[in-house]
Amino acid sequence: MNSVLSRAWTTLLLVALAAFVFSKGVVPAMSEITADFPGYFTAAKIVVDGQDTQRLYDDDWFRGQIRRYGMEDARNPGKFAPFPPPTALLLVPLARFEPLTALRIVTVVSVLCLVCSIFLLARILAWNPRDSALFILSSGLAIIGGLRCGQPYILISMFCILGYYLYVRRRPWLAGVCLGLFVPIKYFPAIILAYFAFRKEWKVVMGGAAAIACVGLVSVGVLGWKVHEVFLFSVFGNHLVGRLSLHDHTVPFTAVYQSFDTLFDRLFILDPAQNPQPLLAAPLLRTVGLITVKGSILLVAAAALLKLARGSAVDAAAPSIGIIGVVLFLIAPATATYTCALLWLPIALLINHFLSQGARVPAYFILGMYALIGFIPYNYAYPFEGHGGLSVLAFPRLFLLLAMFIGCVYFIAHPQPGQRSAARDCARADVRIPAAAPPNSARD
């Protein structure tokens, strides 16, 4: 009887989440163009129409092209920066369609990728597809934002999951190709490839390098070298510190980015126009604090990764990728709601790791933080921004991620009694989850 009730509640929750995503994400994306999609689509139109791609990072010229193609939005004027040049090729196959038709196609592709991600995770982790669907749909606003803005993060997240699936299925070259394919457009998968390089999984790394090189060569061949030179020497450095325009040399005061960089800017940088009420006008404290916080996160993460590697080199890959994924979001100078779709694989691997060790408390703690991130009421948080110390309250996603990270490394450093006994039992019996056991690089 209890199992029947459990299935009924699970099904009801799944239907509710699916209906929420459909009504708030799919329907609006099928109805109107908003936010970021004009930037992606205009860049593709510029390429297909044979315009001067060297001017992609000229914000005024690019906005003129957006107006020319009938996608001007006063709320979000649009620009190509800080996208890497290969981003202009992303929607080239759709550039001959009307803008709304292209967005509808992108939306359908994103929904298909979401469904594929559900079944791939279920296969990798030996989860019930219903549980896998609940997990992915619990990212809530990440899916909705990605659909409404026409962002490629759902697609990229699916390729990350597919790459890991191929890795555990002993297809390292193909795994690397899947992980490397979108690195020239969105950098996140590069950190996974870097971890495989640390593990000396060279077939995965070489597959990723080959994919990156191919995309780069195609981009240079189509767009020319000049725009890549502008990106490398003028845009890329600004991007790494959260300045999202070639001509923007100001401190980015916005809680939308949900990063320590923008939090410390709000707290310690005085700007009469954009930040007249910092907690304390102390730029040096901002720099020292930022270095201290990010340095501490990296040191703690390194310690956790070493402990995992010493415990079992074979079983360390999944939780290590999980920790690295969370850390990347914590130290990034800027993240958006829709980028959280990239957390599907890292968080799922962490949860499955703790469940396989018999540690339900950390698994459900991480799941709880993840679900809260998916449904943050930002309209109640953002009004605190720019009001001295209260600005801290405008960064809920940042602190939920920090809590997730702290909880994760704590439970790795201090395993529960049940977790320790489960680990010993697995070691004695050499128990693995078959679908999730990574290959042995010496053999494969």
The model's pLDDT over 347-400, given as tens digits with 9 standing for 90+, comes to: 999 999 999 988 899 999 999 999 999 999 999 999 999 888 999 999 999 999
Q: What is the pLDDT of residue 430?
A: 39
Amino acid identity, residue 367? L
Cβ-count burial 77-87 (b if 16+ within 10 Å, e if not): ebbbbbbbbbb
Query: pTM for this structure?
Result: 0.89
Distance CA 21, CA 23 (A): 6
Handedness of CA 229, 233, 234, 235 (dihedral sign): positive
Main-chain phi, psi angles of 275, to 5 degrees: -150, 70
Query: Pick the residue with more confidence: 313 or 135?
Result: 135
Amino acid identity, residue 128? N
Lowest mean pLDDT among 75-84, 140-149, 199-208, 402-411: 75-84
Q: What is the pLDDT of residue 240?
A: 64
Amino acid identity, residue 427? A
Main-chain phi, psi angles of 395, to 5 degrees: -125, 55
What is the rounded (10 degree) CA torsion for 176, 179, 185, 190?
-90
Angle at 243 between CA 187 and CA 70, to 5 degrees: 85
Tell me: pLDDT of 170 over 60.
yes
- Say how many Å lie between the first and final Cα of the chain, rounded: 46
In tens, the pLDDT along 173-232 reads: 999 999 999 999 998 999 999 999 998 999 999 999 999 999 999 999 999 999 998 888
Q: From residue 277, give the alpha-carbon distance in Å to each of 333, 351, 363, 386.
A: 22, 41, 40, 6
Instruction: Output the six-digit token pair for 136.
Output: 């992915």
Cβ-count burial 179-212 (b if 16+ within 10 Å, e if not): bbbbbbbbebbbbbbebbeebebebbbbbbbebb
Q: What is the pLDDT of residue 431?
A: 36
Amino acid identity, residue 412? I
Q: What is the pLDDT of residue 147?
A: 95
Local confidence band at 311 (pLDDT 50, 70, 90 cut-offs): confident
Provide the 8-state DSSP code for 269: -
Instruction: Output the six-digit token pair for 115.
Output: 């469904």
Q: What is the pLDDT of residue 269?
A: 92
Q: From residue 190, give the alpha-carbon distance in Å to each of 187, 205, 212, 262.
A: 6, 10, 10, 24
The reply to whether omega before 82 is within 30° of 0 (cis) is yes
Q: What is the pLDDT of residue 74?
A: 58
Strands (E) across 238-316 are located at none
- What residue has token string 């929607």? 91
Task: For the chain, give the number of residues.
Answer: 444
Local confidence band at 69 (pLDDT 50, 70, 90 cut-offs): confident
Contact 178, 162 (CB under 8 A): yes
Query: Pick the residue with more confidence: 2 or 334?
Result: 334
Instruction: Output the six-digit token pair for 142.
Output: 């990440």
Q: What is the pLDDT of residue 158?
A: 97
Local confidence band at 248 (pLDDT 50, 70, 90 cut-offs): low
Nearest to 407 by CA among 341, 333, 350: 350
Provide the 8-state DSSP code for 279: S
Q: What percent of the chain has pLDDT over 70?
A: 87
Contact 168, 200 (CB under 8 A): no
Count CB neighbours of 235 within 10 A: 23
Tell me: pLDDT of 341 over 80.
yes
Lowest mean pLDDT among 60-74, 145-159, 339-353, 358-372: 60-74
Q: What is the mean pLDDT of residues 293-308?
A: 94
Q: What is the pLDDT of residue 274?
A: 86
Tell me: pLDDT of 427 over 60.
no
Query: Pick the residue with more confidence: 417 or 294?
Result: 294
Q: What is the pLDDT of residue 76?
A: 62
HEC string for 2-41: HHHHHHHHHHHHHHHHHHHHHHHHHHHHHHCCCCCHHHHH
Main-chain phi, psi angles of 236, to 5 degrees: -60, -45
Distance CA 194, CA 410 (A): 24
Q: What is the pLDDT of residue 234?
A: 79
Contact 219, 231 (CB under 8 A): no
Within 8 A by CB and 6+ apart from 37, the residues are 71, 99, 103, 106, 149, 150, 151
| Bridge partners, residue 271, by sequence | 275
Nearest to 318 by CA among 161, 116, 117, 155: 161
Tell me: pLDDT of 2 over 60.
no
Q: What is the pLDDT of residue 244?
A: 55
Count CB neighbours of 31 within 10 A: 12
Q: What is the pLDDT of residue 232?
A: 86
Q: What is the mean pLDDT of residues 235-253?
A: 61
Q: What is the pLDDT of residue 444?
A: 41
SS3 category, 275: strand
Cβ-count burial 343-370 (b if 16+ within 10 Å, e if not): bbbbbbbbbbbbbbbbbeebbebbbebb
Q: Average model confidence (pLDDT) for the chain?
A: 87
Local confidence band at 314 (pLDDT 50, 70, 90 cut-offs): low
Q: What is the pLDDT of residue 435?
A: 42
Tell me: pLDDT of 426 over 80.
no
Local confidence band at 329 (pLDDT 50, 70, 90 cut-offs): very high
In tens, the pLDDT along 37-57 reads: 999 999 999 999 989 888 898
